[in-house]
Amino acid sequence: MKSCTRSNSVAENLNLWNQEHAWLEHGDEWKGQADSCGVPYPEWKASVVDRLITPYAKPGSTILELAPGHGRWTEALSSLAGRLILVDLSPGCIEECRRRFEGRDRLETYVNDGRSLPPGLDCQVDLVWSFDSLVHVAPREIQNYLFEIHRVLKPGGFAVIHHANRRHWTLPLAPLRSLGPTWALLYRYLSMGTEESADGWRSAVSVKLFRTMATRAGLSVLENLSRWGDGNRYGVPRHNDRVTILVKAPEDHANGQLLPHERNSQASEPNTPGSPSIFDRSQKNEAPG
Ligand SMILES: C[S@@+](CC[C@H](N)C(=O)[O-])C[C@H]1O[C@@H](n2cnc3c(N)ncnc32)[C@H](O)[C@@H]1O
C-alpha cells in the first residue's frame, strides 16, 4: 500500500477517504481482522456489535459515531440509539450516510475539520463510538478528539475507540516513513514486529500513549482489548490494534451510578456472552432506599 509512506494528517485522510478509496462494499471490504482471527467476517462483525456496542449503548440513548465512513457500524448503532449523531471528515461519506439512513428520526450529520466535534453538544452524549478510523489518525488530532469526547459525554458516559498500537518506544521514529519504502519497511518492522506483513497505515500511537492522552482529557480507561469472546476467538489482532473503552466520571454517587474504579472491578463481566448490559447492572447496584 503506497499510503504506508504517508503521514496520518487530516489532509491525507481527507484525500484517501473522500477521493481515492472506492468503497466497493461500503466498509465491509475490510475483512482483515476477521481473517486474522480465522473466523467468517459476518460472525466477527456480530461479535463486535455484541461485545463492543451493545453493552455500552443504552436503548434510546444518544450515540455519536465518529468517522462512520459509509455506515458499516451505523446500522447497529441506529437500531439502539434514540438520537444518532454522525461526524466525519469526508463530505462524500456523510452524503452516503444521509442517503443510507434517509428517513431516520433524530439523525444529525456533520462534516467536521478532522479534529473537533460539533458545538452545542456539551454533556449530551451517552456513547461515542469510533471503529477502524482513528487507527489512521495522528496523535495530535486524537488528543484533540479525546478532549472533545470528554466535553460531549454525559457524566458516566462511555467512549469505545479502536486505535493503533505500535511499540511505544518506536513512536518518535514515525518520520522515517516519509523517507521512502525501505525506511517505511524498517519502521514497520521495528514498531509492529515481523508477524505483520503490512502497515495498515496505522498512526504513531501505542496503548500507553492512548491511555496518557485519555487521562489528560479527564477520561478513565475501563478496558483495553485486543481479543474477546469464547477462547478469545474474536478481536483486532491485525496490526496489533486495540480497542479502549473509556468512561467520563459520574459527577457523584447520588444517581446510583458506579465510579470508574468500581466499574473497573467488574470490567470483565461484559465479556460473558449474554451478560446484562452495564446499564442493567448499574440499576441493580442502586443503593436500596
Ligand atoms: C477506514 S474508514 C472506516 C469507516 C467506518 N468507521 C468503518 O469501519 O467502515 C475511515 C473513516 O474515517 C474518516 N476519518 C479519517 N480521518 C478522520 C478525522 N481526522 N476526523 C474524522 N473522520 C476521519 C474517513 O473519512 C473515513 O470515513
Distance set, CA 282 to CA 20, 124, 256, 259, 277 (Å): 45, 19, 7, 10, 9
How many domains does the chain fold into? 1
CA distance from start to end of the chain: 60
Q: Is 47 helix (H, G, I), strand (E, B) or coil?
A: helix
pLDDT of residue 251: 76
Q: Answer whether 160 contacts ligand 1 (Cβ < 6 A).
A: no
Report pLDDT digits (tens) over 240-289: 999 999 999 997 444 444 444 444 443 333 333 233 344 433 332 222 22
Residue 62 inside a domain? The answer is yes
- List the residue whose alpha carbon is closest to atom 8 of ligand 1: 132
Pocket test for ligand 1, best of 13, 31, 112 (most atoms within 8 A of CB): 13
Helices of type H across 56-180: 74-80, 91-100, 139-152
- Give the list of residues 6+ apart from residue 229 with CB closer than 8 angstroms, or none: 47, 51, 235, 271, 273
Q: Answer whether 93 contacts ligand 1 (Cβ < 6 A).
A: yes
Are 97 and 70 a contacting pair, CB within 8 Å? yes
pLDDT of residue 3: 54
Q: Answer whether 69 contacts ligand 1 (Cβ < 6 A).
A: yes
- List the residue whose alpha carbon is closest to atom 20 of ligand 1: 114
Helix, strand, coil abundance in the chain, percent, nearest 5: 45, 15, 40
Residue 289 inside a domain? The answer is no
Residue 192 inside a domain? The answer is yes
> d(Cα 214, Cα 150) in Å, to the nearest integer?
9
pLDDT of residue 61: 98
- Residue 197's pLDDT band (cuts 50, 70, 90): confident
The one-character DSSP state at 256 is: S
The Å distance, Cα 259 to ligand 1 centre, comes to 31
Q: Flag whether pLDDT at 85 surpasses 60.
A: yes
Q: What is the CATH number of the domain that holds 243?
A: 3.40.50.150
Q: Flag whether pLDDT at 206 surpasses 80.
A: yes
Per the structure, the complete domain to which residue 158 belongs is given by 2-283
pLDDT of residue 196: 78
Report pLDDT digits (tens) over 163-189: 999 999 999 999 999 899 999 999 999
pLDDT of residue 283: 30
Distance set, CA 61 to CA 22, 114, 137, 224, 279 (Å): 33, 25, 27, 24, 11
Q: Answer whether 65 contacts ligand 1 (Cβ < 6 A).
A: no
Q: Answer whether 33 contacts ligand 1 (Cβ < 6 A).
A: no
pLDDT of residue 168: 97
The Å distance, Cα 142 to ligand 1 centre, comes to 12
Using alpha carbons, select from 163, 59, 152, 61 the residue that is nearest to residue 112. Answer: 152
Q: Answer whether 143 contacts ligand 1 (Cβ < 6 A).
A: no
pTM for this one?
Answer: 0.88
Cell numbers describing residue 285: 447496584
22: number of Cβ within 10 Å = 6
Residue 288 inside a domain? The answer is no
Q: What is the mean pLDDT of residues 143-155?
A: 98
Cell numbers describing residue 63: 450515540
Using alpha carbons, select from 33, 26, 20 the residue that is nearest to residue 71. Answer: 26
Q: Answer whether 68 contacts ligand 1 (Cβ < 6 A).
A: yes
Using alpha carbons, select from 38, 180, 63, 70 the residue that is nearest to residue 129. Answer: 63
pLDDT of residue 254: 40
